């Protein structure tokens, strides 16, 4: 039985991995991790989400197409970018500072200057190369259940990320991987009721310094509603 200490260690040690070795994940182990995700609770047990698993040649083809689209997109802004959910939501005040701290932490660790557009673009591109991971996951939610679908998907994702971590396997949830649903839809049989939310790179972490950088963990007090009476 997992002790509270074991659980805390597992949860605390899960960190986004942004550089992977090319060591493959055995099919059986990957299947086990994906299956562990299904232990998460779900709205009326509907499991209103789907996962698509890209590895081998399919992973490489998707990556090449995503990178090519990203480049086209930069030449002609907005071209070919029609995500199922818009990502161009301006960060509300109070949240933007948190997001900027992550950006700064990553770029500082990589030694990338804010003004160095070229290097920033190359890092963005790494997202579409799955940071070198051998497997990419793409996550869809059923449009019919609205926010409950997305919520369930998040629970699924976190559970599978913890399972992966328990096997020494790293993950990075990636909103960027939700940007070009047409490319993903050409590769997998996904009913039109399901919308692409995001993706995830999964594999064995390398010893690159980016994997040692740690995003801040906000104190729970900052996230707790103050009682009014």
Q: Is 208 in the site for ligand FMN (CB under 6 A)?
A: no
Stretch that binds ligand FMN, among 78-86, 88-96, 144-152, 169-177 (CB under 6 A): 169-177
Beta bridge partners of 54: 136
Closer of 127 and 206 to ligand FMN (Cβ): 127
Q: Are 151 and 38 in contact (CB under 8 A)?
A: no
| Residue 174 makes contact with ligand FMN by CB under 6 A | yes
Output Rg (C-alpha) for the chain, integer angstroms: 18
Nearest-angstrom CA–CA distance, 171 and 15: 8
Q: Name the closest residue to ligand FMN (Cβ).
A: 215
Q: Give the burial class of 109: count Cβ atoms within 10 A of its Cβ; 0-12 exposed, 13-18 middle, 19 or more buried.
A: middle
Q: Among residues 74, 102, 104, 117, which is the contact residue for ligand FMN, using CB under 6 A?
A: 102
Q: How far is the CB of 127 from ligand FMN (least distance, A)?
A: 5
Q: Does 137 bind ligand FMN (CB under 6 A)?
A: no
Distance CA 158, CA 180 (A): 23
Closest CB to ligand FMN among 42 and 179? 179
In the set 66, 198, 202, 210, which binds ligand FMN (CB under 6 A)? 198
Q: Does 16 bind ligand FMN (CB under 6 A)?
A: yes
Burial of 172 (C-beta count, 10 Å sphere; 0-12/13-18/19+)? buried
Give the Cα separation of 94 and 145 in Å (integer): 29
The distance of closest approach from Cβ of residue 15 to ligand FMN in the complex, given in angstroms and rounded to an integer, is 4
Q: Is 152 exposed, middle or buried (0-12, 13-18, 19+ CB in 10 A)?
A: buried
Q: Note whether 172 binds ligand FMN by CB under 6 A.
A: yes
Q: Which of 138, 156, 176, 180 binds ligand FMN (CB under 6 A)?
A: 176
Q: Kindly list the residues in this chain that would bind ligand FMN in the complex (CB under 6 A).
A: 15-16, 18, 102, 127, 172-176, 198, 215
């Amino acid at each position: 039985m997992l002790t509270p200490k074991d659980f805390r260690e597992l949860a605390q040690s899960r960190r986004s991995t942004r550089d992977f070795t090319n060591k493959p994940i055995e099919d059986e182990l990957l299947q086990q991790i994906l299956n562990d995700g299904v232990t998460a609770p779900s709205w009326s047990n509907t499991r209103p989400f789907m996962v698509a698993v890209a590895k081998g040649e399919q992973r490489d083809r998707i990556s090449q197409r995503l990178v090519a689209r990203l480049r086209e997109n930069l030449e002609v802004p907005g071209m070919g970018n029609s995500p199922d959910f818009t990502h161009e939501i301006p960060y509300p005040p109070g949240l933007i500072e948190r997001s900027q701290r992550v950006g700064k932490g990553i770029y500082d660790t990589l030694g990338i200057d804010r003004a160095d557009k070229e290097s920033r673009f190359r890092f963005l591109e790494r997202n579409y190369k799955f940071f070198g991971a051998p497997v990419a996951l793409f996550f869809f939610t059923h449009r019919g259940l609205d926010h409950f679908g997305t919520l369930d998907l998040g629970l699924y994702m976190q559970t599978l990320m913890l399972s992966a971590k328990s096997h020494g396997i790293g993950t990075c949830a990636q909103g960027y991987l939700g940007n070009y649903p047409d490319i993903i839809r050409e590769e997998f049989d996904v009913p039109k009721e399901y919308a692409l939310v995001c993706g995830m790179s999964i594999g064995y972490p390398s010893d690159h310094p980016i994997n040692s950088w740690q995003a801040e963990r906000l104190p729970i007090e900052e996230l707790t509603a103050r009682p009014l009476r």
